[in-house]
Amino acid sequence: MPDDIRKAIPPLGQNAAPENAATIRKLYAPLLEGLMKGVETKLDVPYGDHERQKLDVYWKAGGSGKPVFVYIPGGGFVGGDKRSDPVFYGNVGGCVAREGMVGVVANYRLAPEAKWPLAAKDVESAVKWVKAHAAEFGGDPNKIVIMGHSAGAAHVATFLFDPDINGGDIVAGGMLSSGPYEVRKDESRDNVLAYFGSDTGQFDRRSSLNYVAKSKVPVAVSIAEYDPLHLITPGYDMARALTLRDGKGPRVRCFDGHNHFSTVASMGSKDDDFAKVTLEFIRTCTG
């Protein structure tokens, strides 16, 4: 991590506020200049009828049988976008495309219009679109790895583990980054309740943590040193559930010096700790 960024992150604290996201993007944007050179793009491809059911594809011409990496961004269940500005999150697609893979970044429907589990069902629809069209971009439909960040990680976890979706059966691996995987009985945040609802009797059913054993898909978990506390503890809860499922230590990583936004923002830059771990996991899952 460059010294100026390493020094800038701790004063921001563990706040996941939008202004902190803007600060991080301003720090990383200069490090991503030239990333998209030679990368082909196909933007705003519909995978459903709703205006939010669109995805972007990133790839380099030539070759076939490439791994495909699908990224689901966060936004607190009520916001977020696959192209929040001209750099992010195209940097995720560009990063993996430069490494000989196909990158896909997808939007999904938002609360309060879309209640649980509709965002996870959108993830399912996006992945099924990718499987059907991967070869058009040089990708292998049997080599799809998916990652979600923050609220996106919650949706990916539901996609992977929920017995009514069984998304773990159609991807080669899943990565969960800085997300919540359990709806607690004392939950009071309006944005969370807007998606999961306020009926506490349904919270256990809507918590992906309770269904980890339902899928054997390889999963990696990550958190950031300066994540909000309410997103750090779920990462370790998920790691414990994966340990019990697999009978061995899980792939879990805390990224020192990073905050909630900087891990994904760093992808494609010379600050490559997060990207290296991500790329290694993709290659491990896709052989």
Strand partners, 69: 103, 145
CB crowding 133-157: b at 16 or more within 10 Å, else e: bbeebbbbbebbbbbbbbbbbbbbb
CA distances in angstroms from 257 to 11, 25, 284, listed in the order given: 11, 16, 26
- Read off the pLDDT of each residue in 233-244 and give the average, rounded to a whole number: 98
pTM over 0.75: yes
- Pairing relationship of beta strands 66-72 and 102-106 according to DSSP bridges: parallel
Residue type at 184 in one-letter notation: R
- Read off the pLDDT of each residue in 107-131 and give the average, rounded to a whole number: 99
Q: What is the pLDDT of residue 257?
A: 97
Strand partners, 57: 42, 104
Which helix (H) or strand (E) segment holds residue 256: the answer is: strand 251-259
Alpha carbon distance 250, 229 (integer Å): 21
pLDDT digit string (tens) for 18-72?
A: 999 999 999 999 999 999 999 999 999 999 999 999 999 999 999 999 999 999 9
* Residue with the two structure tokens 């980054």: 177
Average pLDDT of every residue of the chain: 98
Show the domains of the chain with their CATH numbers.
3-286 (3.40.50.1820)
- Read off the pLDDT of each residue in 171-200 and give the average, rounded to a whole number: 96
Cβ-contact 12, 259 below 8 angstroms: yes
Q: What is the pLDDT of residue 12?
A: 95
Cβ-contact 132, 173 below 8 angstroms: no
Alpha carbon distance 175, 114 (integer Å): 23
